[in-house]
Amino acid sequence: MFIELTEIVKEGLSTYASVPKQRPISINVNKIQALHTEASTGNCIIEMRRESIKVKETYEEVKKKIQA
């Protein structure tokens, strides 16, 4: 099963005040290792096997999508 979320794309050299770019992303829930909340923004971090993905949705929103 896949869920669709909004990824916050990490830029190389961006200023602190710049708005981060976003893009839609589909994630296979079977590949998710862990979820946690980023303390400073409240965004959810999804830990995959080889990478971490920062998404716009909150932890609770992602958890509900996975359980649906």
Q: Taking Cα atoms as reference points, which of 25, 24, 32 lies closest to residue 63?
A: 32
The arithmetic mean of pLDDT across residues 15-35, rounded, is 88
Question: What residue ranges do the domains of the chain occupy?
Answer: 2-67
pLDDT band at 14 (very low <50, low <70, confident <90, very high): low
Q: For 32-42, write each residue's pLDDT tens digit.
A: 999 999 988 89
CB-CB neighbours of 46 under 10 Å: 25
Q: What is the pTM of this model?
A: 0.83
The arithmetic mean of pLDDT across residues 17-44, rounded, is 91
Give me the long-range contacts of 56-59 (CB less than 8 A, separation at least 24).
Answer: 56/5, 56/6, 56/7, 56/8, 56/22, 57/5, 57/6, 59/35
